[in-house]
């Protein structure tokens, strides 16, 4: 038997769950299918909302990054009506190359796993691995390992795995440590080392220290990254040395060849919208992407 829904979102990560939350609030009948992939980026993400920390000034992403910052407080308030706090906090400092410290008003951080948990409250989320999408009777057939669905519209938000559905997205691995027993600190960037950003922030689950960057599908933590991250912790937080590792996180950032997210019509599949390829900035850009997908879906754009 094929089950029918108005909208099916493929992937319930940072982008998919916030897109589904936004569509649902606008009255759509939405189902989220999530494969619970090891390496999902949202489980490993720091949650920094910092256009300047990420050096986005002068890039094509800067305007959207500022718009993301502007939209986060209202979105966080809406998410928290679920009863799940998302820990949106103001303030990120950056150590400058000359040694001074800078802070851009409006920047901040949140806790990505809580964001996903809050967004998923009130949504129907089914554990299913989507295998293929294809046209069917004016809509889309969604083939999964848990049976088939039929949807008027599909939103493809499968993170780094979106490339399996005919769009140019691949993985960039990032590793980070969560330390227990370290002193609490506000979100801060140190000077980059070997081309990687080094940052730390206290979160409800510990002191987060990130992050490495490597083009690979591997999702197992490695000792080399652990040593580099320990070094970053020492540089960024006095007295972090004795802290115990609560978790060594590995996530696959969904990246595109030109570094820009893909948000719009699927190039070949009618009825499918793409919301993927947000790279290092999915938490920051998610409110803007969700608003764009809502606008497209409301226009009934299908081809
Ligand atoms: C170490 C690290 C630190 C980061 N720090 C930040 C930060 O500070 N600020 C920021 O803005 N961004 C940060 N990011 C980036 C951010 O995590 C990503 O941009 C964001 O998670 C992308 O969201 P997504 O929903 O596209 O992908 P994901 O979060 O990876 O979610 C994709 C979902 O799709 C599901 N899925 C995959 N394939 C299928 C399938 N075939 N069928 C069904 N479901 C499927 C997966 O199970 C997963 O839940 C960081 C990432 C990493 C790895």
Mean pLDDT by 10 residues, the chain (303 residues): 87 98 97 98 98 94 98 98 98 86 95 98 97 95 97 98 98 98 91 81 96 97 96 91 94 98 97 98 98 93 48
| Atom 49 in ligand 1: residue holding the nearest Cα | 13
* Cα(98) to centroid(ligand 1), Å: 34
pLDDT of residue 301: 57
For 111-128, what is each residue's pLDDT tens digit?
Answer: 999 999 999 998 999 999
Angstrom CA distances, 37 to 129, 219, 222, stand at 9, 10, 19
| Atom 18 in ligand 1: residue holding the nearest Cα | 282
* Cα(163) to centroid(ligand 1), Å: 14
Could you give all domains of the chain from N- to C-terminal order, each with its CATH number? Answer: 3-169+257-298 (3.50.50.60)
Cis peptide before 211 (omega within 30 of 0): yes
pLDDT of residue 193: 72
pLDDT of residue 133: 98
* Cα(203) to centroid(ligand 1), Å: 18
In whole angstroms, what is the distance from residue 274 CA to residue 184 CA? 39
* Cα(14) to centroid(ligand 1), Å: 6
pLDDT of residue 1: 52
pLDDT of residue 2: 61
3-state secondary structure of 135: strand
pLDDT of residue 300: 76
Residues having CB closer than 6 A to ligand 1 are 10-16, 33-37, 40-42, 44-48, 129-130, 157-159, 161, 174, 176, 210-211, 251, 253-254, 276, 278-284
pLDDT of residue 303: 38
The answer to whether residues 222 and 152 touch, using CB atoms and an 8 Å cutoff, is: no
pLDDT of residue 145: 98
Closest ligand 1 atom, residue 278 Cα: 19
CA dihedral 24, 26, 27, 31 (to 10 degrees): -20
pLDDT of residue 114: 98
Out of 68, 116, 283, give the residue to mutate to test ligand 1, the one with the largest number of ligand atoms within 8 Å of its CB.
283
Closest ligand 1 atom, residue 130 Cα: 42
* Cα(158) to centroid(ligand 1), Å: 8
DSSP per-residue codes, 7-29? EEEE--SHHHHHHHHHHHHTT--
**Angle, helices 62-80/112-120, rounded to nearest 10 degrees:** 60
């Amino acid at each position: 038997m094929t089950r029918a829904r108005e909208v099916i979102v493929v992937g319930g990560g940072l982008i998919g769950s916030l897109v589904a939350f936004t569509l649902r609030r606008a009255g759509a009948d939405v189902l989220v299918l999530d494969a619970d992939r090891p390496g999902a980026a949202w489980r490993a993400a720091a949650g920094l909302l910092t256009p300047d920390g990420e050096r986005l000034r002068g890039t094509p992403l800067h305007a959207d990054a500022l718009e993301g910052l502007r939209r986060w407080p209202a979105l966080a308030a809406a998410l928290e009506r679920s009863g799940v706090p998302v820990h949106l906090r103001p303030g990120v400092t950056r150590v400058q190359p000359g040694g001074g410290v800078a802070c851009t008003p409006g920047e901040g951080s949140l806790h990505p796993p809580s964001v996903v948990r809050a967004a998923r409250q009130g949504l129907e989320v089914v554990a299913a691995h989507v295998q293929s999408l294809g046209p069917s009777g004016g809509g889309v057939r969604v083939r999964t390992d848990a049976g088939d669905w039929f949807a008027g519209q599909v939103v493809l938000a499968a993170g780094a795995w979106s490339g399996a559905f005919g769009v140019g997205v691949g993985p960039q691995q990032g590793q980070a440590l969560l330390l227990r027993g370290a002193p609490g600190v506000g979100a801060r960037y140190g000077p980059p080392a070997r081309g990687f950003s080094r940052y730390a922030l206290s979160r409800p689950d510990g002191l987060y220290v990130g992050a490495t960057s490597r083009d690979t599908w591997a999702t197992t933590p490695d000792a080399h990254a652990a040593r580099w991250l320990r070094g970053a912790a020492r540089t960024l937080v006095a007295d972090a040395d004795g802290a115990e590792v609560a978790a060594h996180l590995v996530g696959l950032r969904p990246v595109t060849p030109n570094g820009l997210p893909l948000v719009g019509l699927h190039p070949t599949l009618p009825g499918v919208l793409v919301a993927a390829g947000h790279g290092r900035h999915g938490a920051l850009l998610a409110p803007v992407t969700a608003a764009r997908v809502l606008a497209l879906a409301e226009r009934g754009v299908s081809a």
